[in-house]
Amino acid sequence: MSAKTRITALIADDEEAPREQLRAALQRQWPELQIVAASENGVDAWDDALAHEPQLCFLDIRMPGLSGLEVARRLAELAEPPQVVFVTAYGDHALQAFEAGAIDYLMKPVDEARLAQCLAKLRARLAAPSAAPGQSQGPDLQALLQQLLPQAKPRQARPIQASLGREIKLIAPEEVIYFESDNRYTRVIHQGGEALIRTPLKELLTQLDEAQFWQVHRSVLVNSRCIASALRIDENSMVITLRGREEKLPVSRQFQGLFKGQ
Amino acid sequence: MTQDNKFSLHWSQWVCPGPRRKFSADEMARAGQQPWPKAIDGYVMSNVVVLLAINYVEMSRHWAVLICLSVLAANYAVLAVARHLWRAPTRLNLNLSTLVLALVTIGLELLFKFWPPLQLEQKALLVTSAAMLGGMVMVALAWWFLIILRVQQIEARLRELDEQARSVQLARRLATAQIQPHFLFNTLASVQHWVDTQDARAGSTLRAFTAYLRATLPMFEREALSLDEELQIVRNYLLVMQARLGSRLSWTIDADPALAQLQLPPGLLLTLVENAIGHGIEPSLRGGSIVVRAQQACDLLRLEVQDDGVGLSCTADSAPAASPPGTGGVGLSNARARLAQLHGAAARLSLLAQTPGCLACVEIPKAKEHA
């Protein structure tokens, strides 16, 4: 965390009122806190977290796209995971397991006294030496989240449909080499060429097999079978090379943990 | 259960005849606690006394008192056995009692024939034995009928209790399925915010929410609701959801006014609409719309709840056909059970996957409705 003076936070809830209620409560209790994003669903929450790298994330559990738990699991894998607080209307008893651990939870509508408690905990954690987050709590947190998340159903690999003039081209996901965000479109680079689709990259994330398609950058999703190597340039930058292709793709700092070497 | 009543002879009936059903201690505690009808004691005793009085002159002076006393004692014993059979109506007890009765009768016969002090003449002996044999048969038959009636009584009571328990359970399951804490608290969270910020949505949402709660809480104590009442609940529910979801939800209700008095299982349409919101609209990134329809087709009444949300396909990509009747959560299986109770087996509830979304459809045969 470089020269950020103000602590940053993200709020995610698919309903406007609870989102704004939390925002107001946070502003009252922690005026210096900078709310960098108020996301309306899980997919946006993940994308906004990548874009703004907030230090705190307040995630509603039930959201379309990705649930709060799924977003938290992805966040926990990042190089510098933010502190996560779950917000829920009705307590899942399993959530109490988090209270003592790396994650806290709040009930909707958010109670000021309870929020003050939670914020005190967060402040203490942020002030603590940076050894605390990430590695030490990582695996523990992952296990807890894994318990809470419903068993992932094996995803049906539906073909990607790309329009080319009057023709609609079907591309099997296995044949895709990588996806790249391009303004309002997503570029699909596949064995047979290139195509543009309208589905935003962040939505594709929820449709594709996570084990096969790795997000290496906020705007790039790569078929892991096509990655030839990862190359560290300096402390902060890394690129990957692809089998049988010229271009190199940047790996953002957040995702460099994917390539550890063994 | 009815199969027990069918006539069929089990081999054990040759050895130990009687009702085969044996009640556990638990079943007896639940259904076998009826007290022994005391009136029987008085009735039997008075009959015996009358019989003895009529025959008193026929008896020899010498033995008359003794005969009367022993008949009364025997009668008391027979009633005691009957009371025991009432409390423990098993065919083993019945057969043991009958066996003891037979042995006692035979013993007494032998006594009369061979015990010198009695010295009965041939004719008196014959009369006595005939009387005793007749008495024995009568007592055994009485016990038989008693035990058969008693077993049937307990069985009927057990069936009745099971039936009651089942309908209570059904109602409770429905009620708990209905009280959705997520809905309650999410709504309260929104209203809280609008109250805090003096947003006009607070008042209207709270009003719809109150009307919804007032109608749904006592809903499951009733056997049926009219379509009109049900639609009022659905409308309030949708008003609340509309306020919360904003532009992500749009909805219309299109009902034939002629159907206003159609009787429906309480909560049937509400469950379908809740499913459409919970499984169709809420999980969808872009939201969607819900259409509730109630129409008459030629010989059918059709109720439909249609949404264009994420639909069934999110759970089963490859099953676009009608879902089999067993599918669906607690809400749906309850709704099906209730619908069958109200309109018979011909009424159907089906879920159809659509692209996009889902169509829930209830069909009730018209004839049934007017019957």
| Among the four given CATH numbers 3.40.50.2020, 3.40.50.300, 3.60.15.10, 3.30.565.10, the one describing domain B181-312+330-365 | 3.30.565.10
Which of these, B157, B192, B224, lies nearest to B21 by C-alpha position?
Answer: B157
Q: How far apart are CA A202 and CA A208, in angstroms?
A: 11
pLDDT of residue A240: 93
Residue with tokens 């025997």, as numbered in its chain? B74
pLDDT of residue A135: 44
Q: Is the pLDDT of residue A1 over 70?
A: no
Domain residue extents for chain B:
16-171, 181-312+330-365
What are the C-alpha distances in Å from A103 to residues A47, A121, A142, A145, B251?
20, 10, 11, 10, 38
What are the C-alpha distances in Å from B76 to residues A163, B69, B106?
99, 11, 19
Q: How far apart are CA B357 and CA B311, in angstroms?
A: 4
The predicted complex's ipTM stands at 0.84
pLDDT of residue B182: 84
pLDDT of residue A3: 46
Size of interface A-B (CB pairs under 8 A): 64
pTM score, two decimals?
0.69
What the block records as the tokens of A227 is 């990655």
CB contact under 8 A, A156 and B318: yes
pLDDT of residue A261: 72
Instruction: Choose between A67 and B176: higher pLDDT.
Output: A67
Strand arrangement of the beta sheet that strand A227-232 belongs to: A227-232, A238-242, A248-251
pLDDT of residue B174: 63
pLDDT of residue A179: 95
CB contact under 8 A, A17 and B194: yes
Q: How far apart are CA B186 and CA A26, in angstroms?
A: 19
CA distance A28 to chain B (A): 13
What the block records as the tokens of A104 is 């806290």
Interface test with chain B among A16, A71, A86, A151, by most B beta carbons within 10 Å:
A16
Is the minimum CB–CB distance between B186 and chain A shorter than 8 Å? yes
Q: Is the pLDDT of residue A2 over 50?
A: no
- List average pLDDT for each run of 10 residues in chain B, which is 371 residues long: 57 84 88 89 92 85 85 92 92 93 91 78 83 91 92 92 80 64 89 93 94 82 86 95 94 94 87 90 92 90 92 46 43 77 85 88 73 44
Q: Return the amino acid letter for B39.
A: A
- A contacts of B318 (beta carbons < 8 Å): 156
- B contacts of A158 (beta carbons < 8 Å): 317
Is the minimum CB–CB distance between B54 and chain A shorter than 8 Å? no
The chain A residues in contact with chain B (CB within 8 A) are 14-18, 20-21, 24, 41, 43, 62, 64-65, 89-90, 107-110, 153, 156, 158, 203
CA distance A155 to chain B (A): 9
CB contact under 8 A, B282 and A64: yes
CB contact under 8 A, B189 and A108: yes
- A contacts of B196 (beta carbons < 8 Å): 21, 24
pLDDT of residue A153: 59
